[in-house]
Structure 1
């Protein structure tokens, strides 16, 4: 375990980028071989919008990275946080760290993004994607992403995480983000089996359905048991899923300027979804 911790302590930005590109590429290829939905759309044109939004989140990540570095120094100096109150084996602490961060910076903030109107306005950009595939995992309005990163910082402070544990979590959350958004069809028995512990591709697709109540379900990113514990888990027939959201203009799903400006519009009118 010490070797694993040391590896992640020294993880470089280039290695992180390779991981992101690698995960995107693998699931992009799998989508072409085992698609869940056979969409008739220009995949590269669709990806362009999501990649532009990915660029904005990378820039925000740089800023938050500087803040996070300062927090890790403070935590190390002051021994603050839950993990500093116990003396568990490293592998147990890593699992606890992943669970705490997945709960705080994924489930809790995601639930709030749906329930607090001002936060929901920005989160609609993620839901406005009419063709959910692996690139949809990169689709976040910059302010939506700032909300998410703020809760990640809170999770780090509450848990008192060392840097290596946090980076292990980030690597895993990238994998599960692209895995759950990928337009891939696993055997139903396998997808359901995965969904008892983790967020499977089918599980997350219900969250991207264009109307309630499915839109407000399956908030998790890595673990599905948060949804099971808090009663927000569903698993139905994926054939009934229609992607999009009725608060933004469905015809401008791939218009990046519209997506960036839309949350600031006063009195957003409900757009009739034309699936």
Structure 2
């Protein structure tokens, strides 16, 4: 498959392309008319992205080793059946979306030490496409570890995993983008996939919305497990109620949040 041989520069180009498209769309079809310095805000999130990309290089080596082992061992659920490629691919995407996105995201909100790492993603007071890159490096390590667990359980080939990553990048920027879809269209799409409006409730500054809509690509997990929310987006206020709004773009403060005991978490 093409994705199995996709060079790193093409993956990076895909990130830049998708982020750039939604960055531009925000200027014409904004959901919220922010009064902020867009580039200054983006700088904080891009610095965090830089840390994540460095860690990704290390995980790339680990991931490569796991796929070599899977090729030799024939380990995993997909090795037990002789199924058409398209069915295997759909199964792989479903399992990755459930374990590496919904489930780990749920844990990041419910386990105290994980929540402290994940807080950085929620302290953004101007949610836009760049917010999708806003993760503490240790938060990213946890997410990638769960993705590898899903890979091992399924015993999937690297091509399936890379295809999932490409889809995941698109949805990450799509759901965080400050774009306004027609309300009817957004609501209809939310029955199957995570939409911009749907995910924005997750970035509301208070419970219970903060602890809802954990999905990344498929909205079915939130519907199945009772964590789905949908309301009027005008009620949303971004940020998190346990961290001061004016610290949102202070990179040093943000990186120190997990270790800042003056910040009292809900857990």
TM-score by length of 2: 0.98
- CA offsets 1:105-136 (integer angstroms, 9 cap, x no match): 10000000000000000100000000000000
- CA offsets 1:228-257 (integer angstroms, 9 cap, x no match): 000000110000000001222211100011
Task: Please give the root-mean-square deviation of Cα atoms over the aligned residues, in Å.
Answer: 0.8
Q: Whole-Å Cα distance in 2 between the matches of residues 97 and 247 of structure 1?
A: 37
Deviation >2 Å, runs of 4+: none
Aligned counterpart, 2:15: 20
Q: Whole-Å Cα distance in 2 between the matches of residues 264 and 81 of structure 1?
A: 38
Structure 2 SS opposite 1:226: helix
Contact 1:124 1:247 in 2 (8 A): no
Contact 2:119 2:257 in 1 (8 A): no
Aligned counterpart, 2:166: 171
- CA offsets 1:184-225 (integer angstroms, 9 cap, x no match): 000011101110100000000000000000000000000000
The alpha-carbon deviation at position 262 of structure 1 amounts to 1.5
Q: Whole-Å Cα distance in 2 between the matches of residues 41 and 256 of structure 1?
A: 17
Q: Whole-Å Cα distance in 2 between the matches of residues 169 and 111 of structure 1?
A: 20
Structure 2 SS opposite 1:193: helix
Aligned counterpart, 2:252: 257
Partner of residue 61 from structure 2, selected from 66, 80, 100: 66
> How many pairs were matched up?
265
Contact 1:37 1:183 in 2 (8 A): yes
Aligned counterpart, 1:224: 219
TM-score by length of 1: 0.95
Contact 1:107 1:226 in 2 (8 A): yes
Structure 2 SS opposite 1:254: coil
For structure 1, the residue ranges without an aligned partner over 5 or more in a row are 1-5, 271-275
Aligned counterpart, 1:3: none
Contact 1:109 1:148 in 2 (8 A): yes
Aligned counterpart, 2:128: 133
The alpha-carbon deviation at position 39 of structure 1 amounts to 0.6
Q: Whole-Å Cα distance in 1 between the matches of residues 242 and 260 of structure 2?
A: 11
For structure 2, the residue ranges without an aligned partner over 5 or more in a row are none
- CA offsets 1:74-117 (integer angstroms, 9 cap, x no match): 11111111111111110111111111101111000000000000
Structure 2 SS opposite 1:130: coil
Structure 2 SS opposite 1:211: coil
